[in-house]
Amino acid sequence: MPLTHRIGSVTVTALLDGVGPFFQPREEAFPGATEAQWREADRWDPGTVGPDGGWRLPFRAFALRAGDGPVTLVDAGIGPADAFAATWAPVPGRLPAELAAAGIDPAEVRTVVLTHLHTDHVGWAGPLFPNADHLLQRAELAALELFHPELPARLLEPLRAAGRLRVLDGETALTPGVRVLSTPGHTPGHQSVLVEDGDERLLVTGDLLVHAIQLVDPALPYAHEEDPPTARASRESLLGTLSPLLLATPHLGLPFTPHPEPGRS
């Protein structure tokens, strides 16, 4: 069964689409990290070190549902065998089977929040979710030259033609206790989703962070961020102002990671 966490009336379900090696050594992806920081990160989140010492990462989406109401999906994984991510990610993903195991019919998904347009986050977007509006920031759609060249023709234009592409400008409330936050830097229009109930908070991060090394030191730049200073500011701002909170991440070893680490401050 997929892992879940409950915040107020909202059940957050982690859906594992796949696990595979990153396309370069992790030391090249985080050139500023020290040996001591890698040790700390691997202790905090041991699940992403492959047998060869390389970076082996999960690819997840998250489903949000209040009671038996409509489902909001955050991110859409690596996708089927012919997906955009096929050149580097372990396609086909298993999201349809994960949804079934979680008791979610794709037709019940009414909203798909795409945190950004990288290929490992949009794989199942579109046809699998015929009743869903797909939500993207205007700033992301204004930077299409950064992304896969077939993205407009294969995904965005069909969604727009069907009236299922919803363009957001910054922070946007979705349902009670659930809102989209603007978290730019990894990409120009990157967004995350905050679920709140009283003092309890859960942040579906997208690629606001991609490895626990960025929890050890949120200032560390990641080689595949479009705008590292802005990405750092987004990370430091959210981790600084929202913690304590639970992070629901696509790529850390465990789907739910508390911040700060329990027993530390």
Summarize as ranges the residues that interact with Zn ion (CB under 5 A): 120, 207
- Closer residue to Zn ion (CB): 177 or 188: 188
CA 216 to chain centre: 19
CB proximity list for 51: less than 8 A, separation 6 or greater? none
* Strand, helix or coil for residue 82: coil
- Closer residue to Zn ion (CB): 120 or 140: 120
Using the structure block, give the residue that is written with the tokens 């606001």. Answer: 208
Name residue 209's amino acid. Answer: L
Compute the distance between CA of residue 233 and CA of residue 246 in angstroms, rounded to an integer. Answer: 19
CB of 134 to Zn ion, least distance (A): 17
- Closer residue to Zn ion (CB): 111 or 205: 205
CB of 84 to Zn ion, least distance (A): 12
CB of 108 to Zn ion, least distance (A): 25
- Rg of the chain on CA atoms, in Å: 17
- Closer residue to Zn ion (CB): 108 or 207: 207
CB proximity list for 101: less than 8 A, separation 6 or greater? 1, 2
Cis peptide bond N-terminal to 31, omega within 30: no
CB of 9 to Zn ion, least distance (A): 29
- Closer residue to Zn ion (CB): 38 or 222: 222
CB of 170 to Zn ion, least distance (A): 22
